[in-house]
Structure 1
Amino acid sequence: MTAPAAAAPTAADRRRWARYLVEERAEGTVYQRLAARREGEEREILLNLAEAERRHEQHWLDLLGAEPARLPRAGLRSRMLGWMAGKFGSIFVLALAQSAEARSPYDTEAWASPAMRADEKVHYEVVRGLAARGRRRLSGSFRAAVFGANDGLVSNLALVLGIGATGVSSGFVLFSGIAGLLAGALSMGAGEFVSVRSQRELLASTEANDDAAASAADLDIDENELALVYRARGMDEAESLSRARKIVTAARAGAQYATTGPVRTHGADDHEIVGSDWTAAISSFLLFASGAIVPVLPWLFGLQGTTAVIVALILVGVALLSTGAMVGILSGGPPLRRALRQLAIGFGAAAITYVLGLVFGVGAA
C-alpha cells in the first residue's frame, strides 16, 4: 500500500475511503449471495471475487486506521444488487454487476494501489464471462420470450388502432383485439416449437458416435481410414492418425477405446444454447398473449374513441420501454438506447396501420 508522495490525507479523503469501504463490502456481499445460489466452478469463481473485494475492503480499513464509528450507506445500485442477488441470483443480477464493474473509480484514485486497479479490470472480464454463460443458457427461451412479447405489443396495437380508425364500434375493436391475441399467440407458439425442434434435430444428426469404431478390429492399422473420421470432426492429421491407431490396437486386443467424448465439431452446449422446444413454444405463446392483451385493455374496461387510443398508446409505450431496457441490460448495451429503439419501432408500425385505417374509413364512408 503506497500513499501519494508528499501528501497527507484530508477529511475529504477519509470520507471517500469510507465510501469505498462500504461499496467494496456491498459488492462482496453480492458475490457471496450469488455464490450461495450456484454450484461447481461458478460458485468457486464468485467466492474468489468476494475474497478479492475483502482485500480491497481491508486496504481502505488500513488507510482509515480502524472502521469509522459512522459509515455512509452503500449506493442504491449496490443495495439493489445485494437484495436481488439474495432473492433471485439470476443472469439479470450478473448483467447489472457487469455494468457496475465497468465503471471503476480507482482509475483516477491516487490512494488506490495499482493491484486494485488491475483487479477491477479483471473483475469486469470475469463477471462478463459469467454473464455470458448465463446468456448462452438463456438465449433460446429468452429470444422467444422477448420476440413474443414485443410482437404481441406491436402487432395488436397496430391491429386495434387500424380497426378503430375505420370508425367501427368499440365492441368490434375489442373483438378484433381478442381474436388477434389468440391467433397470434397460437401462431407464435407453434412456430417456435417447430423452429427449435427442427434446430435440435439438425444438431442431433451431427453428433459424433462410435459406429465407425465398431469395425476397428478389421481395419488395416497402417492404412486405416478411421483417421478420416476424426479429421472430418476437426482434428489435425497427426492427432487423428494417433487416435485411430490406439482404437485399432485396443480393438484387436479385445478392449474398447473411448472415441466420442472429446471429439466434437460443435460446442458441448449446443443443445443448451438452442433451448427446449416446449420451453420456447410456451414462452412465446404466453409472452405474445401478455403483450397482445395490453393494447386491448382500454376497450376491455369500456373506454372508447380517442380516450381508448391514448390510454392504449401510453400502456404499450411503457411496456416497450421496459422490454427494450431489459434487453439492453441483459445484453450489456445502453438500456435507454434499446428502450427508445423499441418504442420507435412499435409506434412507427402502429402509426402506419392507423393512417391506413383512416384512409379506408374515409373511403368506406
Structure 2
Amino acid sequence: MVPDAGSATPPENRQAPSPAKVRRWRRRLADEREEARIYRNLAARRSGEEQAILRSLADAEERHAAHWETLLGADAGRRRRGNVRARILVWLARHFGSVFVLALVQRAESQSPYGADTDATATMAADEQVHEEVVRALAERGRSRISGSFRAAVFGANDGLVSNLSLVLGVSGGGAEAHTVLLSGVAGLLAGALSMGAGEYVSVRSQRELLAASTPTATAHTAVPHLDVNANELALVYRARGMSETDAQQRADALLQNYQPLDETDDAEPDGAHDVVGTGLGAALSSFAFFASGALIPVLPFLFGLDKVPALVVATILVAVALLLTGAVVGLLSGGPPLRRGLRQLTIGLGAAAITYLLGLLFGATLG
C-alpha cells in the first residue's frame, strides 16, 4: 500500500508546524526508520518466502518514513535514532531473529499510534494493522516449531518453582529444622524432575503414536488407479474426513479423472502436527532440566546456610521473581501483555505455596 494520494498538504501550501508537532513528526520518522531496519535485519536471517515477506514489510515502513519526511520538509534536520524499544528490537533482530523477536515485533505493531494520529493517513494506520497480522502469521510458524518443548519447559519450570517452594514452606510450617527442610527440598527436586521427565516422555510419545495412527498411509495413493470408477470408494474417504457427500463425490471424481502418480519423494509422511507436539526425548529433557532449575531456587538459601526464617523469606522472594519472569516470557511469546501474565503466574504460584504453608502449620500443631 502507498499513503493516500493528496493526504499530505504540499509544504508550500501549509502553515509552519508548531515546534511540538515538528518534534512528534521527527519521532515518527525516526521510529519508522528503525522499524524498517528491524524487518531488514530479520530478513537477513531468513530465506525464501519469509525473507521476501519481511523485506516487503521493510519497504512499507520506509514508505511511511517518506510520509513524515514530506511533512517535515526542511524541518527534518539530522537523522535521529528511534525510541529505546525500537533500538533494542533492531539489535535483537540483527543477532537472533528468533520467534521471540517476532513476538516482540508483533506486540510493537499492535501498539501503533497511527489510529489516533491525525497527521498519519488512513492507509498508514491500515498498513500497521495488516503488519501485525503478517508478523503474527510469521511468528506462528516459529511458535508451532517450539510449542512442544516450550510447553514442557514452561510447565516444568513453573511446577518446579511452585511445588518445591510449597514443599519447603509446608515442611517448615510443620516445625522441621533447617537441615530437614534442605533435605526435603533436595529430595523434592530430584523426585519431581525425574517424574516430570518420565511423564513428559510417555505423554509425548503416546500423543505422537495417536497422531501416527490417524495419518494416511504413505502408499494409499497407489490404490487410486485401480478403483472402480462407478462405485468410487474414494468418496467415502473424503466423507469420513468431514466433507459433505456431494463435495466428496466431486473431489473423488476429479481425482480419478486427472490422476497423476506421485513421486517417491511425495510418499513421506506429513509431520506438521508431529512437529507441534515435539519429540518425546526433547520434551522429557526440557521438562527435567527446567523443573530442576525451578525447584533449585527455593533450596538455594538453605544451601548457602541461611537460618530457617531468613531462608524462607529469601526463597519466597526468589521464587516470586522467577514466576514473574516466566509469566512475562510466556506473555511475550504469545503476544499477550507480559505484566498481566507475570502477575497471574505469581498469584497462582504464591497462592498455592501459602496454602501449603498454612496446612503445614495446621498439621504441625495437630501432630505436635
Query: For the Cα contact (< 8 Å) 1:325–1:336, is it kept in 2?
Result: yes
Amino acid at match of 1:239: R
Distance 1:19 1:231, change over 3 A: same
Matches within 5 A, 1:1-365: 1-3=6-8, 7-65=15-73, 68-209=76-217, 211-216=219-224, 218-234=226-242, 236-247=248-259, 256=261, 269-365=272-368
**Residues 30-69 of structure 1: CA distance to partner in whole angstroms, max 9, x if unpaired?**
1111111112211111111011111111222222225844
Q: Distance in 2 between matches of 1:143 and 1:101?
A: 25
**Residues 285-307 of structure 1: CA distance to partner in whole angstroms, max 9, x if unpaired?**
00000000000001010012211
Q: What SS is found at the alignment partner of 1:316?
A: helix
Q: What SS is found at the alignment partner of 1:221?
A: coil
Q: How many residues align?
A: 355
Q: Distance in 2 between matches of 1:109 and 1:29?
A: 23
Q: Distance in 1 between matches of 2:115 and 2:276?
A: 36
Q: Distance in 2 between matches of 1:63 and 1:342?
A: 46
**Residues 162-193 of structure 1: CA distance to partner in whole angstroms, max 9, x if unpaired?**
11122222111111111100110111111111
Distance 1:53 1:246, change over 3 A: closer
Identity of aligned residues (%): 58
Query: For the Cα contact (< 8 Å) 1:212–1:226, is it kept in 2?
Result: no
Amino acid at match of 1:177: G
Amino acid at match of 1:244: L
Query: For the Cα contact (< 8 Å) 1:231–1:240, is it kept in 2?
Result: no
Q: Distance in 2 between matches of 1:43 and 1:98?
A: 16
Q: Distance in 1 between matches of 2:110 and 2:232?
A: 54
Q: Distance in 1 between matches of 2:101 and 2:331?
A: 13
Q: What SS is found at the alignment partner of 1:38?
A: coil
TM-score (norm 1): 0.90
Distance 1:106 1:215, change over 3 A: closer
Distance 1:70 1:342, change over 3 A: same
Q: What SS is found at the alignment partner of 1:133?
A: helix
Distance 1:219 1:330, change over 3 A: closer
Amino acid at match of 2:336: G
Distance 1:285 1:99, change over 3 A: same
Report the equivalent of 1:253: none
**Residues 233-285 of structure 1: CA distance to partner in whole angstroms, max 9, x if unpaired?**
455221112213444xx7xxxxx3579969x9xx8621111112211111100
Query: For the Cα contact (< 8 Å) 2:302–2:308, is it kept in 1?
Result: no
Amino acid at match of 2:185: G
Q: Distance in 2 between matches of 1:345 and 1:32?
A: 40
Distance 1:109 1:8, change over 3 A: farther
**Residues 97-120 of structure 1: CA distance to partner in whole angstroms, max 9, x if unpaired?**
111111222222232223212211
Q: Distance in 2 between matches of 1:320 and 1:51?
A: 39
Q: Distance in 2 between matches of 1:118 and 1:336?
A: 27
Q: Distance in 2 between matches of 1:240 and 1:258?
A: 20
Q: What SS is found at the alignment partner of 1:65?
A: helix
Across the aligned residues of Structure 1 and Structure 2, the Cα RMSD in angstroms comes to 2.4
- Could you list the runs of 5+ residues in structure 1 that have no partner in the other structure? 251-255
Q: Distance in 1 between matches of 2:278 and 2:90?
A: 29
Query: For the Cα contact (< 8 Å) 1:209–1:260, is it kept in 2?
Result: no
Q: Distance in 2 between matches of 1:135 and 1:212?
A: 31
Distance 1:316 1:217, change over 3 A: closer
Q: Distance in 2 between matches of 1:331 and 1:215?
A: 43
Q: CA deviation at 1:231?
A: 3.6
Query: For the Cα contact (< 8 Å) 1:28–1:53, is it kept in 2?
Result: yes
Distance 1:290 1:210, change over 3 A: closer
Distance 1:244 1:69, change over 3 A: same
- Could you list the runs of 5+ residues in structure 2 that have no partner in the other structure? 1-5
Q: Distance in 1 between matches of 2:257 and 2:48?
A: 36
